[in-house]
A and B are shown apart, each in its own frame.
Chain A
Amino acid sequence: MLKDDRAGIEVAERIERSDLAVDTEVIYGVGFEVNDKIMGYEDVIIIDAAKVGYPPGTVTEVTVDDIFTDHNLAISHAVTLGSTLKVGYDLFPDEMPKKLRIFLIEAEDYFEFTRQCSPKVVEAIDRVVALIHRHFTGGTTETTH
């Protein structure tokens, strides 16, 4: 509901509406509930809006270690996504996905109450949706910033 903050939700909803044969899940948090949802799956893609400092609409692919390195990331949602995933892989290596990709979409505005993302983020959503389709259908999936 907070404009660009819903970029990940928008991607999930579009994938769900498409004919791609994958499960989708929208999670409004980054705590252990994330692991509860992804454990047992082989191949998982996580999409989230972020404010990292890149130009709005930039799509960044990161690893679990990338987003675990700074303890100060533990400010906004109790446990960070990095901590959550790290704990998952440390404790349940056999149940966590063998393949995990994490994409961050750089937000421009996440304060206004609206379901409409800003134009650059909408373009980024288009790119990520296409990328996910390619990922699961065997095409090239390099990120284009």
Chain B
Amino acid sequence: MKKIEINPMTRLEGHGKIAIFLDDNGNVDEAFFQVVEFRGFEKFLVGLPIEEVPRTVSTICGVCRGVHFTAAMKASDGVYGVQPTPTARKLRELFFNAHYVEDHAVILYALGLPDFVVGPSAPAAQRNVVGLINVVGAQLGREVLRKRGCAVKIFEMLGGKPNHPVAALPGGWSKTINESERAQIEEWSLELIELSKLTLKVFEEVVLGNPAYMELVTGDMYRVPVNYMATTDADGMLTLYDGTQKVIDVNGNQIASFTGKEYIDHISERVLPWTYLKMPYQKKIGWKGIVDGEGTSLYSVGPLARFNVSKGIPTPLANEEYKKFFATFGGRPVHNILGYHWARAIELLHCSERCLELSRDPEITGSDNRAPLGEVTGEGIGIIEAPRGTLIHHYNTDEKGVVTDANIVVATTHNKGPINLAVRKAAKHFIKNGNVDETILNHVEMAYRPYDLCLGCATHAIRPGSSPIEVTIYDDKKEVVKSLRNF
């Protein structure tokens, strides 16, 4: 048996490894997505006052800083038994949507689109953001970066500090804005809408207008039928900051609905010896293994899941694109994972529209930015839709609000099973008779990029003992000659 490794995986957050095992005919027998990095934030948070946690968890990752901050802030509301005031809530949402725009824009232009704009067969050294700019031109590149910079400015103005925000308060938001700042944010938000329209135009011209790419987008090689989990508002529409978590099966039927702590009744995490990343599954279905199709207990989160679970998008321009998305695929749920990129581009537009709406909301300049704290409840759960998918922060505290236990379930962890399936499916499709070259391996890597992995966030749990390592040696008859393991 021949083993192929793609290590380290390129263009994702953190460190991972794909191991592909070939049979004697040189076809793929099995493929694994492994995570080998580890950070241990859950243990580190124990002993911190809950109000310090948002600022601390924002350093889990240089990219996902705003989402951990927001989820932990919502959890701190729970610990202090308080809900944010209307102005605080809107400021939080404005901050969060601006963060979405800057994050989604980077993911699309730097990580997702190079495969299409530069081409999946282009040399690896060119399939990156610099190569993309070489193709689309410096003028467009400048325009994208300048407009994206408007989202960063909103993020920083509201967050109170560059890069890693500090404005979170239990039940509030410390940074209020005056009329002049509001007008500036409104102006920036208009730029963000232009950025989103431009991005959708690029996507339409480069991907939707290319029959060869559309074969990949709609083909079975990148189709992973699993369940989907996402958050919706009271009308069943896509929402990001707060709402009800819903799960649908592979046929689109709702199989679960929950909020807050109820997530424990619906999500289990299976610890696997070959990766630091735990593999979640739908608890009520039970662990069925790493399999897709009807009856699977694996589920996906993120832009495609949000599209599949929701009935629509509550902003007009993005909702029109949402309808076009499903019309193109010809039904729902959409299991074609390259659709993640398109859904991400449409969400970019939605978040830009939300920034504009919120900037024009009369309450956004209010001064009621903090609600009085209640009694310490000892527990808080913050669930949001992060750009990469549902993010859960769950804290228990003592009577003073000092963290005694933390559990963080991030999008990349939710998606662990489907990522494995996607890598396996792509590997089986593209690797035949032992023929493997850089182009083929890139097509395999294209199976995980839609999920917008962040392994720096995902590998946060410390398990006692040493790092699990297994070395297995096979002979040409696939029989194990020797196996060494430390777990």
Q: Which A residues are closer than 8 A to B by beta carbons? A: 1-2, 25-33, 35-37, 68, 71-72, 74-79, 83, 86-87, 90-92, 111, 113
Contact = CB atoms under 8 A, between A and B. Distances in A.
Interface in B15-54: 15, 38-40, 43-44
Given A29-B163, A30-B62, A71 B106 contact: no
Interface of B: 8-15, 38-40, 43-44, 59, 61-63, 65, 106-107, 110-111, 124-125, 127-130, 133, 138, 141-142, 145, 148-149, 152, 162-164, 456
Interface of A is mostly: loop
B141 A77 contact: no
Contacts of A111: 38
Given A28-B163, A83-B130, A90-B138, A78 B111 contact: yes
> Across chains A and B, which 3 residue pairs bring their CB atoms closest together, nearest first?
A29-B62, A75-B8, A28-B62
Contacts of B138: 90-91
B212 to A, nearest CB: 23
A51 to B, nearest CB: 11
A48 B44 CA distance: 23
A6 B39 CA distance: 14
B111 to A, nearest CB: 7
Given A36-B149, A75-B12, 10 more contacts: A26-B163, A27-B163, A31-B62, A33-B62, A71-B124, A71-B128, A77-B63, A78-B13, A79-B106, A87-B141
A71 B124 CA distance: 7
Given A27-B62, A90-B138, A78 B145 contact: no
B63 A31 contact: yes
Nearest to B456: A76
B133 A90 contact: yes
B106 A78 contact: yes
Contacts of A91: 133, 138, 141-142, 145
Contact of A25 (B110, B130, B149, B162): B162
A111 B276 CA distance: 14
Contact of B9 (A1, A32, A36, A75): A75
Contact of B110 (A28, A37, A83): A83
Contact of A32 (B38, B39, B145): B145
A71 B141 CA distance: 20
B10 A79 contact: no
A113 B44 CA distance: 7
Contacts of B59: 1, 28
B128 A36 contact: no
15 contacts: A28-B65, A28-B164, A29-B62, A30-B62, A75-B8, A75-B9, A75-B10, A75-B14, A76-B14, A76-B456, A78-B107, A90-B138, A90-B141, A113-B43, A113-B44
Contacts of A113: 40, 43-44
Contact of B127 (A30, A71, A78, A87): A71
Contact of B106 (A32, A37, A76): A32
Contacts of A37: 162
B130 A86 contact: yes
Nearest to A92: B142
B390 to A, nearest CB: 20
A79 B152 contact: no
A75 B63 CA distance: 13
A87 B13 contact: no
Contact of A87 (B8, B39, B130, B149): B130
Contacts of A68: 130
Most-contacted residue by chain B among A35, A36, A90 (CB, 10 A) = A36
Contacts of B164: 28
Contacts of A26: 163
Contacts of A79: 106, 110-111, 129
Contact of A83 (B107, B129, B149, B152): B129
Contacts of B13: 76-78
Nearest to B63: A78
A36 B106 CA distance: 14
A28 B59 CA distance: 7
A84 to B, nearest CB: 9
A26 B166 CA distance: 14
A111 B462 CA distance: 11
